[in-house]
Copies of this chain bind each other. A is one copy, B any other.
């Protein structure tokens, strides 16, 4: 059975809710523990969606699709090097924004300001020393991430602090969905309504099972943590006014507009 979990704000209060068609059923508690449905029904259009979960640890697989690795290497002027092991990286919570919120392009960012459409696992169980066969049991659901990147900083900087972790650079949502098979998904990216990429979500260099298992050899993955799985393809630049949509079939559409820093 599939359930769609959101986190939302309405009438000044924040809660988790279950999306049913065009309505949201608020719950007491959370999808990561006990919860109880309320009798209330809110119109989905009347609530403000929030980032569906604020992770304790924000895992992110940086390079996980072959064509993307080759193209990014080319763009930053380095020889392409396909990863030989599933080594996870990190992103920072300060950068998270929800579906519908604005991606703010920093005043000093160059035109090499790009989206990356990614599948995201939301964990529901603790994972430590899990095998690839056990890994998906720890995933409660799936959501969508946009790993916004400033390529000139990605090339010039020693760390990803501003190229990938500036405020608003990590849209995630609109919600997460349980009971899905990621092997059946397609990722479709649209810029101002025009399709700029479409790929089989599962055609990764290392699949989620491998990433989760390898990470869990050393690190505890906790309920509420997320892991992003990289993007495919060649990205175009985004400029203020642009609207970027990441659709993953079965999950939904993550939509954000780009604005210039004031």
Contact = CB atoms under 8 A, between A and B. Distances in A.
A185 interface: no
Given A54-B56, A56-B93, A92-B90, A218 B166 contact: yes
Interface string A141-183: 0000000000000000111011001110000000000000000
Interface stretch (A30-38, A113-121, A219-227): A219-227
A90 B160 CA distance: 9
Contacts of A62: 158-159
A259 B83 CA distance: 32
A219 B57 contact: no
A59 B161 CA distance: 9
A140 interface: no
Contacts of A63: 158
B159 A88 contact: yes
A218 B159 contact: no
B218 A161 contact: yes
A199 B159 CA distance: 26
A89 B57 contact: no
Contact of A162 (B95, B161, B167, B219): B219
Interface string A44-67: 000000000010110100110000
Given A166-B218, A219-B166, A159 B57 contact: no
A30 B249 CA distance: 43
A195 interface: no
Interface string A74-101: 0000000001010111101111000000
A57 to B, nearest CB: 5
Given A92-B219, A94-B222, A161 B57 contact: no
Given A54-B56, A56-B54, A161 B93 contact: no
Interface of A: 54, 56-57, 59, 62-63, 83, 85, 87-90, 92-95, 106, 128, 157-159, 161-162, 165-167, 215, 217-222, 225
